[in-house]
Amino acid sequence: MQIGALDRIEGAVAEKLQSGHADEARFGFAARMANATPPVDEGFRQALRARILADLTETAESAHKETKETEEEWTRTAKARVRTIKLWRVSPGVAWAAILVLAALTLTLVVSWYAGMWKPDMEARTPPETETHTPPVGPIPQLESADVDALANRLNGAPAPRTVVVFPGDYAPALAGRVQHEVVPLTLRGTLAPAAIQAALGAALPPSGLVDVILIGQDATGAARQVRATLERRLYRLYRPGETGTEAFGALERNQYVVGPEAATVEPIGVVFENGVELVAAGVLDDPEPGKPLRLAFDWRVSEQVNDSVVVFAHLICDGGQLVAQRDAVPGNGMFPVESWEPGEVVRDQFALLLPPELPPGEYEVRVGIYNSTSGQRYRSAGEGGEPHVVVRQYTVED
């Protein structure tokens, strides 16, 4: 009976995993319970099976003990009866119903635990290594009115309409009343796994255009690093001439980005530089337009650990020598230094260059390379006569 109840519930959960809906005619209450749960996965099913099996075994042993004691007491006090009534023989339906009710309650508790609403004192499932349950934000700082005004004035002075994303989201109302652009909170709950941050960020972002991300009091928290890394992977940080895309207003930090495809199309390059860093692939997502962002994406890899600090440069050059736009930075705006790369790991570095309002006519090319951050010495591509850069795209701009 125990295994039958367990198999019924496990079968319903397994069917929901495969088809998204359990057959209620086949599994009865177990299917109804499974269909009422949030999305489940294999880890949930295994945890459910172990928990129900333990509870059913414990309940059965307890029920057997209580039944035995009851039977002995009944025998002692009912000697005048013709035969002893043994409760456990005359009430299998009651026992079956009790087990099903217990299983339903157990299922509800496990589902609640799985959804993060309740954490029982039991052996929890091991979360994926990428998850962390550090509180999303550090101590909430008090904002200075002058800092908020300065940031609002800066945002309101931006000519193009944009979305302003605020993290932690609790601060969004303080800016919404002073900023002319759309203000959206970025709210994280429960987990700082990259997928969870990606989902929250995706819900806050427009499908395209410019985005200002305001980080408040997030200089040294674990949440800050997770959010910053996700921003650099998901968006294209906007580099203006002489700027890094970051401004500080007291505890408020403004970061400027361009929305782009989550998975940019890149073309194979396969150039290895003399320090062992390989430019695996590159993508230029836009044609150069005056005053518009030029989005770029590069995939890098090392075959062995690299210990020196490396800066990646991307330069838009006109007529073989005139520098029109550039970005020189540690990959991910400092979030993905080459020294931290694991051999064989492909690291995406993506960003956008804001082009000047006027582009002179001529032949343009996008040059990419790397140099030592201490000495400034550029690394050449491996092999005799290697160049200190790679040309990844060429354009012609006409009058």
CATH of the domain at 385: 2.70.50.60
Residue ending a domain, among 237, 258, 279, is 258
Asked if residue 107 and residue 9 are part of one domain, the reply reads yes
Asked if residue 203 and residue 163 are part of one domain, the reply reads yes
Confidence of residue 80 (pLDDT cuts 50, 70, 90): very low
Answer for the pair 341, 347: CB distance below 8 angstroms, yes or no: yes
Confidence of residue 59 (pLDDT cuts 50, 70, 90): very low
Supply 385's token pair. 């006569």
Distance CA 338, CA 300 (A): 9
CA angle 315, 243, 252 (to 5 degrees): 145
Note the pLDDT of residue 11. 73
Q: Give helix then strand counts, H and E, for the chain.
A: 10, 14
Confidence of residue 160 (pLDDT cuts 50, 70, 90): confident
Amino acid at the residue 352: A
Distance CA 389, CA 304 (A): 21
Measured in degrees and rounded to the nearest 5, phi and psi for residue 101 equal -60, -45
Q: How many CB atoms lie within 10 A of CB 16?
A: 21
Residue ending a domain, among 198, 227, 258, is 258
- Higher pLDDT among residues 330 and 193, named by residue: 330
Q: What is the mean pLDDT of residues 182-195?
A: 80
Supply 231's token pair. 């921003």
The residue segments making up the domain with residue 108 are 2-114
Distance CA 399, CA 122 (A): 72
Distance CA 340, CA 81 (A): 83
Note the pLDDT of residue 362. 92
Summarize pLDDT for 259-302 with one digit per residue, the tens. 988 788 999 999 999 999 999 999 999 999 999 999 999 999 99
Asked if residue 388 and residue 331 are part of one domain, the reply reads yes
Summarize pLDDT for 106-151 with one digit per residue, the tens. 555 544 444 443 333 333 333 333 333 444 444 456 888 999 999 9
Asked if residue 304 and residue 226 are part of one domain, the reply reads no
Supply 324's token pair. 């029109």
In-domain check, residue 126: no
Q: What is the mean pLDDT of residues 30-59?
A: 56
Asked if residue 166 and residue 107 are part of one domain, the reply reads no
Asked if residue 281 and residue 179 are part of one domain, the reply reads no
In-domain check, residue 133: no
Rg of the chain (C-alpha set): 31
Answer for the pair 186, 165: CB distance below 8 angstroms, yes or no: yes
Note the pLDDT of residue 32. 66
Please tell me whether residue 38 adopts helix, strand or coil conformation. Answer: coil
Summarize pLDDT for 93-109 with one digit per residue, the tens. 544 544 554 555 555 55
Closest CA to 118 of 169, 187, 66, 190: 190
Asked if residue 229 and residue 303 are part of one domain, the reply reads no
* Average pLDDT of every residue of the chain: 76
Distance of CA 186 to the CA centre of its chain: 13
Confidence of residue 391 (pLDDT cuts 50, 70, 90): very high
Asked if the peptide bond before residue 168 counts as cis, ω within 30 degrees of 0, the response is yes
Q: Please report, rounded to a whole number, the percentage of residues in the chain having pLDDT higher than 90.
A: 42
Element (H or E) spanning 243, and its range?
none
Distance CA 172, CA 180 (A): 13
Please tell me whether residue 149 adopts helix, strand or coil conformation. Answer: helix
In-domain check, residue 215: yes
Q: Which burial class, exposed, middle or buried, applies to 351 when counting CB atoms under 10 A from its CB (0-12, 13-18, 19+)?
A: buried
Q: To 10 degrees, the CA torsion angle through 236, 240, 244, 249?
A: -100
Q: What is the mean pLDDT of residues 384-391?
A: 88
Query: How many structural domains comprise the chain?
Result: 3
Closest CA to 353 of 206, 202, 229, 242: 242
Note the pLDDT of residue 394. 94
Note the pLDDT of residue 67. 47
Asked if residue 375 and residue 314 are part of one domain, the reply reads yes
- Higher pLDDT among residues 29 and 313, named by residue: 313
Residue ending a domain, among 215, 230, 258, is 258
Locate the DSSP E strands across 146-275: 162-167, 182-185, 210-216, 236-239, 246-249, 252-258, 267-272
**CA-based torsion, 40, 43, 45, 48: positive or negative:** negative
Answer for the pair 227, 234: CB distance below 8 angstroms, yes or no: no
Please tell me whether residue 258 adopts helix, strand or coil conformation. Answer: strand
Measured in degrees and rounded to the nearest 5, phi and psi for residue 128 equal -55, 150
